[in-house]
Structure 1
Amino acid sequence: MRLLKRLATLLSLSLMLGLVGCSSLSLAYNQMPLLAGLWVDHYLDLDSAQRGRLKDALQAWQAWHRREELPQWLALLRQGQAALDGGVTPDELAALERGAQASLERCLQHAAPLAAPLLAELRPAQWQHLQKTMDEKNAEWQAKVGGRGGAAERAKRYITNLERWLGDLDRSTRRQARADAEGWHFDLAAMAQGRATRQARTLEGLRAWSRQDLAGGTAVFMRNVQTLPGEQLYRDQITASLLQLLNGLDARQLQQVRKHWADWSAELHRLQAN
């Protein structure tokens, strides 16, 4: 899980990270079994029978999520709106992150028994494919953020995540966000080590689920949410920038953010009703 995406939002709900960038939250949510299935298949190289079982599991998981977790998303959205209206404090931001982590844990706990049978039947070649694909993704990340254009790439990602959650930023706010991100101290070695640690834990968690150690695997996945010592400075810089940006929005920008979130609330209510 990317550190930036956990911090650069008042509502860092892990599932929504892939959805809010779409033009229609409802469309993306309704297509989640298809989109998630393609993503999982990319990492595991499933055969046709396994794809069918994965589809059934994802549809069952989504039915639970629509019924049980969408109300939690709405509550967290209301919590974020209340924090924004009164000026966001570090404690409020931390409380929102804890709410997001609780949502993630519930989602993992429900996913574990659905995923375990499929994981148990993976062949050695499929586990090797997973390892290879994760290694390739890590190499791609390191090339993007660690090269000469790394600071610009990190700034671009920061602004993209901000606008997913807040709506379009005006020119001066974008300029300030870019300047902040380009000025952050970034320890490539420490961040790369953090990604390697999370990759190893992800494999450990999946292996645990494949052995029917559902609670143990979920606990390993939740450790991936924790900030590692080498990442703390980078996290603190992002948090400080985010708080300054949120509390510096003028009345027009605040109104735009409220409208952006009101639109989300309406879509979530429609999804829940379906």
Structure 2
Amino acid sequence: MKMFCRIKTMLRIIGARRWALALLAVPLLLAGCGLVRVGYGQAPNLVYWRLDGLAGFSAEQAPQVREAIAQWFDWHRREELPRYADALARLQRELPGDATPTQVCRWFDELALWRDSAWEAALPLLAPVALSLDAGQLQRLRTELRSADDKLKREILPDSAADRLQGQVQRTAQRAQRLYGRLDATQREWLSLQLTQAPLSPEAWWAERQRRQDDLLRTLAGLQERRPSEPQARAALQGVYRRAVHAPAAGGSGHPQARQCELIAGLHNRTTPAQRATAVQRVRGWEADLRALADAARPAGERQAQAPTASPAWR
């Protein structure tokens, strides 16, 4: 289960915007449950199993899907992981000091560029798979998504407003602790106050999730009915992606993650020197893992003489 948790977090790196607050964005998107080298190596199989569980691929579709996933991960390991590692090296230099909301929003902007690159690489691989889905598979996809939604809604949107806030505070604190270590009572109280005064609305997140999901299902159904050309299928899927990532921010004008940026910077500025040192040590370990993964994708003659050794701190 720990391995699957790691891969689910990794998958969110390549997806659309997520409501869940990521403390200092980059490291938690990369290692929300602990991204390790063996976990990334198993990712193609786990991604396939997850997709197969949603759609139920036929014997003819399965090799095509597996090959598409393998091609994407080959590209991602070779081209993207070095970029992520370089960003983590920069983050280590920033963590000891205070942060501003503008600084944090720049990290969100960089994540958006990574997300866009990942999607552009995936789109030509996804279009043939989308065109191959039949009506029965689309119905299965609807059913599976609805079942997952029912479980998630009970967690994110309990009936009591107090329970919703408590859950929001708990989830945000847990994400922060993956970076800084344990938060003290004063930090938790501040976090609870901030979320009480200007909460990151789970209701708005849920409504947007449903809109995106319905958009995707309608688009896939349209492809199944019309059977357009592959370029037309790519254009349709690109539309789904653009509508997802460019949806209006709940807070109106300004940076889409402005409230998150303020909250992240505010909490970071209330961390102790020891907590910041813990964060630097953990980020250094994640950086080493990513560099080792990227190095393993190079031809043998181009690899580093000695791959970096990951710090055990992230454990």
| Counterpart check, 1:145 vs 2:156 | yes
Report matched runs for 1:222-241 at 5 Å: 222-226=242-246, 228-230=248-250, 236-241=258-263
Q: CA RMSD in A?
A: 3.0
Please report the TM-score for the alignment, with normalisation by the length of structure 1. 0.83
- Given that 2:156 and 2:167 are in contact with CA atoms closer than 8 Å, whether structure 1 keeps it comes out as yes
Aligned to 1:88: 99
Aligned to 1:218: 238
Secondary structure of residue in 2 paired with 1:31: helix
Distance (whole Å) between structure 2 residues aligned to residue 225 and residue 61 of structure 1: 21
| Counterpart check, 1:40 vs 2:54 | no
Aligned to 1:162: 176
Cα distance, 1:118 vs structure 2: 1.7
Aligned to 2:307: none
Aligned to 2:191: 177
Letter aligned with residue 102 of structure 2: D
Q: Pick which of 184-193 and 69-78 moved more.
A: 184-193
1:26 aligned to 23, 37, 40, which one? 37
Aligned to 1:263: 285
Q: Which runs of 5+ in 2 are unaligned?
A: 1-15, 297-315
Q: Pick which of 239-248 and 72-81 moved more.
A: 72-81
Secondary structure of residue in 1 paired with 2:19: helix
Aligned to 1:104: 115
Q: 1:189 to 1:256 in 2, by over 3 A?
A: closer
Q: 1:123 to 1:191 in 2, by over 3 A?
A: same
- Given that 1:204 and 1:220 are in contact with CA atoms closer than 8 Å, whether structure 2 keeps it comes out as no
- TM-superposition CA deviations, 1:135-165 (whole Å, max 9, x none): 233333322222222222222221232233x
Cα distance, 1:188 vs structure 2: 5.5
Secondary structure of residue in 1 paired with 2:95: helix
Letter aligned with residue 51 of structure 2: V
Identity across aligned pairs (percent)?
A: 22
Q: Pick which of 202-211 and 80-89 moved more.
A: 202-211
2:62 aligned to 38, 42, 51, which one? 51
- TM-superposition CA deviations, 1:82-123 (whole Å, max 9, x none): 433442222221211111111111111111111222221111
Distance (whole Å) between structure 1 residues aligned to residue 216 and residue 92 of structure 2: 33
Q: 1:90 to 1:74 in 2, by over 3 A?
A: same
Q: 1:43 to 1:249 in 2, by over 3 A?
A: same
Aligned to 1:62: 73
Secondary structure of residue in 2 paired with 1:224: helix
Aligned to 2:217: 203
Distance (whole Å) between structure 1 residues aligned to residue 51 and residue 291 of structure 2: 28
Letter aligned with residue 72 of structure 2: W
Q: Which runs of 5+ in 1 are unaligned?
A: none
- Given that 1:194 and 1:228 are in contact with CA atoms closer than 8 Å, whether structure 2 keeps it comes out as no
Query: Structure 1 residue runs of 4+, over 4 Å off?
Result: 186-189, 204-211, 231-237
Letter aligned with residue 217 of structure 2: L
Q: 1:104 to 1:55 in 2, by over 3 A?
A: same
Secondary structure of residue in 2 paired with 1:4: coil
Letter aligned with residue 24 of structure 2: L
- Given that 1:191 and 1:231 are in contact with CA atoms closer than 8 Å, whether structure 2 keeps it comes out as no
1:122 aligned to 118, 130, 133, which one? 133
| Counterpart check, 1:194 vs 2:208 | yes
- Given that 2:19 and 2:205 are in contact with CA atoms closer than 8 Å, whether structure 1 keeps it comes out as no
User: Per residue, is there more helix in 1 or in 2?
Assistant: 1
Instruction: Name the larger-Rg structure.
Output: 2
Distance (whole Å) between structure 2 residues aligned to residue 88 and residue 160 of structure 1: 20
Q: 1:205 to 1:250 in 2, by over 3 A?
A: farther
Distance (whole Å) between structure 2 residues aligned to residue 91 and residue 185 of structure 1: 20
Cα distance, 1:12 vs structure 2: 4.2
- TM-superposition CA deviations, 1:22-77 (whole Å, max 9, x none): 44521221111011112212221223442332222111111111111112112322
Letter aligned with residue 247 of structure 1: N
- Given that 2:104 and 2:264 are in contact with CA atoms closer than 8 Å, whether structure 1 keeps it comes out as no
